[in-house]
Amino acid sequence: LCLSPKVSMLSRIHPLTRCSYSSAVTATSSFYDIIIIGGGMVGNAMACSLGLSEYLKSKKILVLDSAEIKAPTKNSPYGYRVTAVAPHSVLLFQKLGIWNDLVDLRVKRVDRLQVLDSCSHSSIRFAQPDPCNEVAHMIENNAIIGFLANRIKTSCPNVTIRTKVKVVDCRTPSGLDEFATVALDNGTKLQTSLIIGADGARSMVRDMLDFKYTSWGYGQSAVVANLRVQAMENNCVAWERFTPSGPVALLPLTENMSSVTWTTSAEHAEKLLSLPPEEFVNELNDFLTTDIHQNSITNQFLSLTGQVLKGVFPVSEKPKLTFPTVISLYEGTRARFPLAFGHTYSYVVPRAALIGDAAHRIHPLAGQGVNLGWSDVKILLSCLEQCVIDGGDLGSLTYLSDYDTQGQRRNVPVQVACDWLNRLYLTSNTPLILIRSLGLNMVDRFTPLKVYFSFCISFGFTVVSK
* This prediction's pTM: 0.87
Whether 464 is in a domain gets the answer: no
- The Cα 388–Cα 56 span in angstroms is 7
Whether 353 is in a domain gets the answer: yes
Which residues are bridge partners to 126 per DSSP?
113
Tell me what pLDDT residue 425 has: 84
267 Cβ neighbours under 8 A, 6+ residues apart: none
Whether 465 is in a domain gets the answer: no
Please count the structural domains in the chain.
1
**Amino acid identity at 390:** D
Tell me what pLDDT residue 426 has: 81
Whether 466 is in a domain gets the answer: no
- The Cα 368–Cα 382 span in angstroms is 21
Which residues are bridge partners to 341 per DSSP?
216
Q: Is the pLDDT of residue 462 over 80?
A: no
The DSSP result for 251-271, as a single string, is EEEETTEEEEEEEEEHHHHHH
Whether 143 is in a domain gets the answer: yes
Residue 438: closest CA among 255, 305, 310, 260? 305
Contact 30, 10 (CB under 8 A): no
Coil, helix or strand at residue 16: coil
Give the domain extent around 400. Answer: 5-459
Specify the pairing of strand 112-117 against strand 257-265. unpaired
- The Cα 34–Cα 399 span in angstroms is 15
Mean pLDDT, the chain, rounded, equals 85
| Distance separating the N- and C-terminal Cα atoms of the chain | 29
Q: Is the pLDDT of residue 246 over 60?
A: yes
65 Cβ neighbours under 8 A, 6+ residues apart: 38, 39, 40, 43, 161, 162, 163, 164, 165
Q: Is the pLDDT of residue 465 over 60?
A: no
- Comparing 10 with 335, which gets the higher pLDDT? 335
Tell me what pLDDT residue 14 has: 37
Tell me what pLDDT residue 457 has: 55
Angle between helices 87-96 and 141-155 (to 10 degrees): 30
Tell me what pLDDT residue 314 has: 60
Give 405's pLDDT tier (boundaries 50, 70, 90).
very high
Tell me what pLDDT residue 446 has: 63
Whether 257 is in a domain gets the answer: yes
Give 170's pLDDT tier (boundaries 50, 70, 90).
very high
What's the chain's length in residues? Answer: 466
The H or E element containing residue 342 is: strand 335-344
Tell me what pLDDT residue 15 has: 33
- The Cα 309–Cα 446 span in angstroms is 10
Which residues are bridge partners to 194 per DSSP?
34
36-73 pLDDT, tens per residue?
Answer: 999 999 999 999 999 999 999 999 999 999 988 888 88
292-304 pLDDT, tens per residue?
Answer: 877 777 778 777 7
Q: What are φ and ψ of residue 359, in 5° steps?
A: -95, -35
Tell me what pLDDT residue 5 has: 46
Share of the chain above pLDDT 70, in %: 84
262-316 pLDDT, tens per residue?
Answer: 999 999 999 999 999 999 999 999 999 888 877 777 778 777 776 666 666 665 5
Task: Tell me the average pLDDT across 390-394.
Answer: 96
- Comparing 182 with 455, which gets the higher pLDDT? 182
Whether 152 is in a domain gets the answer: yes
The H or E element containing residue 5 is: helix 5-13
Give 13's pLDDT tier (boundaries 50, 70, 90).
very low
- The Cα 145–Cα 164 span in angstroms is 15
Output the domain CATH number for residue 203: 3.50.50.60
Picking from 151-160, 192-201, 295-304, which range would have the lowest pLDDT averaged per residue? Answer: 295-304
Give 321's pLDDT tier (boundaries 50, 70, 90).
low
Q: Is the pLDDT of residue 147 over 80?
A: yes
93-134 pLDDT, tens per residue?
Answer: 999 999 999 999 999 999 988 888 877 777 777 776 555 578
Whether 298 is in a domain gets the answer: yes
Tell me what pLDDT residue 16 has: 32
Tell me what pLDDT residue 27 has: 41
Output the CA–CA distances (angstroms, integers) from residue 255 to 1, 230, 235, in the order listed. Answer: 62, 8, 5
Task: Tell me the average pLDDT across 243-255.
Answer: 92
